[in-house]
């Protein structure tokens, strides 16, 4: 009789129990007396209203000369079959796939998508946001990543962040991009790095030459600082302000700007503080951004003559003599581990108060 549990079709344990009783000429009352159970308990098992517990399985095994596992497996298979045939109102498998596709909770929280209690509506809202019609189309959203990554929450969150950047950029009217005018505007852009309040002028200077500056806040699991993308016919520089500091703002901005000036093709999503595995174009962008920010030879002379006694006053004097905010110099000293990251952090002012109108809400 134990071979019954191997059947591809789940059978109610009560049916097997009834067969066992019939084979022995027993009544339900007889089995109840053998097991020391109320007859009602046996009847409920036969009707399927009462499940076979491990204790009951042991007693049935002794009564019929089978194994306890036979009865527990029979019960488990039957209950699982019932669950599978029950109406699935929660769409669990579809929801799991959707939440893997995109950071749905965060999209709803930020108001990037809206949906009522209908799962179908939520699914369509996510697909519309991501610019696809089904989950199978995710691969068409490919972008050039700084590091090779496997598909997972980080990749999905990054793609969602890119989609939001594209949406914000698409809502702006831009002049035609002019590469030559961009290069000519670099001195004016860099002049804004002397005073923290002047960062407010940067988006307008970039827009005047057709470069779209988009600030979309850091999305959980993206670990991004900035990106260079093409949004329509215009290049876009996207920032997260993950580190809301003047030094981080300027290096990230100039790193992405370097990608444009150097005519690097494709899109770049950059975690500028996340590792040392950089390809040639990323290294070139780092190098050019560093050259724009601080004259390397002058900085090395400053370090040689000042080390290890870096103070707020010495850093400020050097920064002002080169037309840069002191926080930019301190940021490089921190990066090169010449000054401990815990020291002089009051010089690393925030930039978000000056960029409010350019930030995605």
The answer on 326 and 290 residing in a single domain is: yes
Cβ neighbour number for residue 309 with a 10 Å cutoff: 7
Residues 353 and 205 in one domain: yes
3 state SS of 129: helix
Write down which residue in 36, 57, 85 finishes a domain: 85
Lowest mean pLDDT among 12-26, 109-123, 206-220: 109-123
In a domain, 145, yes or no: yes
Cβ count near 211 (within 10 Å)? 26
Average pLDDT over residues 219-225: 88
pLDDT at residue 170, rounded to an integer:
93
Last residue of a domain, one of 54, 85, 116: 85
> What pTM did the predictor assign?
0.75
Q: Is the pLDDT of residue 2 over 50?
A: no
pLDDT number for residue 221: 82
- Residue 277: the pLDDT is 65
Kindly state whether residues 148 and 210 are assigned to the same domain: no
Which of 1-15, 164-178, 269-283, 311-325 is predicted with the least confidence, judged by mean pLDDT?
Answer: 1-15
Number of H helices, E strands in the chain: 16, 4
Give the per-residue pLDDT at 11.
87
Residues 259, 281: Cα–Cα separation, whole Å? 8
Same domain, 319 and 341: yes
pLDDT band at 21 (very low <50, low <70, confident <90, very high): very high
Task: Tell whether 277 and 331 lie within a shared domain.
Answer: yes
Q: What is the per-residue pLDDT for 117?
A: 75
Tell me, yes or no, whether 194 lies in a domain: yes
Assigned domain for 199 exists: yes
Bridge partners, 145 (sequence order): 269
Asked whether residue 53 is assigned to any structural domain, the reply reads yes
Give the number of domains in the chain: 3
Same domain, yes or no: 122 and 271? no
Which residue did the predictor score with more confidence, 196 or 118?
A: 196
Q: 113-120 — which CB contacts under 8 Å span 24+ positions?
A: 119/91, 119/94, 119/95
For residues 17 and 26, the answer to whether their CB atoms sit within 8 Å is: no
Looking at the fold, whether 282 and 314 belong to one and the same domain comes out as: yes
Clarify whether residues 239 and 316 are in a common domain: yes
Whether residues 192 and 334 fall in one domain: yes
pLDDT at 128 over 70: yes
Q: 361 and 238 in one domain? A: yes
| 130 and 9, same domain (yes or no) | no
Q: Using the predicted structure, report yes or no on whether residue 7 has a pLDDT greater than 60.
A: no
When mean pLDDT is compared across 38-42, 85-89, 237-241, 305-309, the lowest value belongs to: 85-89
| Residue-number span of the structural domain to which 97 is assigned | 92-163
* Residue in 110, 104, 139 with CA at minimum distance from that of residue 125: 104
Residue 171 in any domain: the answer is no
pLDDT of 318 over the 90 cut: yes
Stretch 132-146: mean pLDDT, rounded?
Answer: 64
Task: Give the tokens for residue 351.
Answer: 């930039």
Residue 170 included in any domain:
no
Contacts 24+ apart (CB under 8 A), 332-340: 332/247, 332/290, 332/293, 332/294, 332/299, 333/303, 334/247, 338/303, 338/307, 338/308, 338/310, 339/310
- Are residue 146 and residue 182 in the same domain, yes or no? no
Q: What is the pLDDT of residue 324?
A: 97
Give the number of other CB atoms < 10 A from CB of residue 112.
21
Predicted local confidence at residue 275, as pLDDT: 56
Structure confidence at residue 156 as a pLDDT band (50, 70, 90): confident
Tell me what the pLDDT averaged over the chain comes to.
89
pLDDT at 1 over 60: no
Residue 168 lies in a domain: no
Place of tokens 């850093």: 315
């Amino acid at each position: 009789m134990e071979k019954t549990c191997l059947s591809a079709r789940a059978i109610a344990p009560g049916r097997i129990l009834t067969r066992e009783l019939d084979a022995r000429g027993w009544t339900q009352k007889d089995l109840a007396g053998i097991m020391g159970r109320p007859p009602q308990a046996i009847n409920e098992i036969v009707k399927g209203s009462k499940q076979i517990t491990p204790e009951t399985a042991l007693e049935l095994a002794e009564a019929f000369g089978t194994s306890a596992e036979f009865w527990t497996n029979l019960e488990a298979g039957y209950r699982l079959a019932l669950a599978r045939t029950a109406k699935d109102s929660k769409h669990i498998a579809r929801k799991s796939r959707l939440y893997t596709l995109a950071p749905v909770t965060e999209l709803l929280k930020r108001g990037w998508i809206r949906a009522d209690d209908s799962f179908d509506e939520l699914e369509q809202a996510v697909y519309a946001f991501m610019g696809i019609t089904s989950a199978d189309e995710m691969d068409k959203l490919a972008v050039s990543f700084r590091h090779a990554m496997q598909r997972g929450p980080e990749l999905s969150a990054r793609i969602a962040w890119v989609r939001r950047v594209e949406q914000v950029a698409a809502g702006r009217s831009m002049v035609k991009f002019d590469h030559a005018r961009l290069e000519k505007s670099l001195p004016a852009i860099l002049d804004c790095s002397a005073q923290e309040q002047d960062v407010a002028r940067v988006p307008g200077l970039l827009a005047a030459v057709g470069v779209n500056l988009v600030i979309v806040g850091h999305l959980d699991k993206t670990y991004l600082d900035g990106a260079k993308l093409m949004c329509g016919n215009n290049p876009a520089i996207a920032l997260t302000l993950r580190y809301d500091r003047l030094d981080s703002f300027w290096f990230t901005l100039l790193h992405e700007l370097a990608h444009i000036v150097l005519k690097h093709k494709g899109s770049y999503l950059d975690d500028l503080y996340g590792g040392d595995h950089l390809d040639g174009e990323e290294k070139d962008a780092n190098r050019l951004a560093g050259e724009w920010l601080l004259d390397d030879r002058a900085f090395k002379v400053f370090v040689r003559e000042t080390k290890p006694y870096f103070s707020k006053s010495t850093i400020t004097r050097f920064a002002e003599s080169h037309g840069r905010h002191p926080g930019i110099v301190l940021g490089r000293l921190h990066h090169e581990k010449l000054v401990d990251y815990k020291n002089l952090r009051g010089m690393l002012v925030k930039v978000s108060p000056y960029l409010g109108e350019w930030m995605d809400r």
